[in-house]
């Protein structure tokens, strides 16, 4: 009994590490990045359906993975899917055989794999660590089009000006003095 206790304790420490490693596949051709983010340096190009192992590390929508060669990098959460078991083969014949065997009490429950993923919203820590991206703002502003360019595009596309009636002013509710997020000075008189 005394020898079993240390082994159980050791196994208890190994289980979380084993669960933290999850087999997965890339959903499409992707770049393995050295850090989370689209601007990070590419370590390798991975074709679609490449086997990877997810680690427990995650930063926003990025997950850390290990590839077969041993390199560790980052992939976007939406580019990684579960490594599902091989599909049961046989088509119609396999389906018929499964139906016959179920008559004799050897039915296996059918399983379906569903892949879900989510991206959490911004938290206080994310906002505290946020850094302005002046270069990104400059690139965005360089895409701005002038009034003449917009009118030229609309003309080439065959768009015609149309008169649109303005929306009616919202009725003020007697129970509140200001709309949500506004002040009484911002209210529109009916």
78 within 8 A of 117, measured Cβ to Cβ: yes
Could you tell me if residue 126 is inside a domain? no
Can you give 115-126 as a three-state secondary structure string?
CCCCCCCCCHHH
Number of structural domains (the chain) is 1
76 within 8 A of 28, measured Cβ to Cβ: no
Could you tell me if residue 70 is inside a domain? yes
For the chain, the average pLDDT equals 75
Question: Distance (Å, rounded) from C-alpha 3 to C-alpha 5?
Answer: 6
Domain residues for 46? Answer: 21-82
Structure tokens at 62: 């990025």
- Note if the pTM is more than 0.75: no
State the CB neighbour count (10 A cutoff) for residue 45. Answer: 10
Give pLDDT tens digits for 10-32: 555 554 444 457 899 999 999 99
């Amino acid at each position: 009994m005394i020898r079993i206790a240390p082994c159980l304790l050791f196994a208890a420490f190994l289980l979380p590490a084993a669960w933290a490693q999850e087999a997965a596949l890339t959903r499409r051709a992707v770049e393995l990045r050295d850090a989370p983010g689209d601007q990070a340096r590419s370590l390798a190009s991975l074709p679609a359906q490449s086997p990877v192992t997810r680690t427990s590390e995650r930063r926003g929508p990025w997950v850390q993975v290990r590839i077969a060669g041993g390199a560790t990098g980052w992939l976007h959460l939406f580019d990684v899917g579960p490594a599902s078991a091989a599909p049961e083969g046989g088509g119609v014949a396999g389906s018929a055989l499964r139906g016959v065997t179920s008559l004799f009490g050897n039915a296996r429950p059918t399983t379906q794999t569903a892949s879900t993923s989510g991206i959490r919203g911004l938290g206080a820590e994310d906002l505290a660590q946020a850094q302005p991206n002046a270069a990104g703002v400059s690139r965005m502003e360089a895409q701005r089009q002038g009034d003449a360019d917009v009118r030229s595009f609309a003309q080439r596309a065959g768009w015609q000006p149309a008169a649109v009636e303005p929306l009616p002013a919202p009725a003020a509710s007697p129970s509140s003095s200001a709309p949500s997020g506004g002040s009484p000075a911002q209210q529109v008189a009916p």
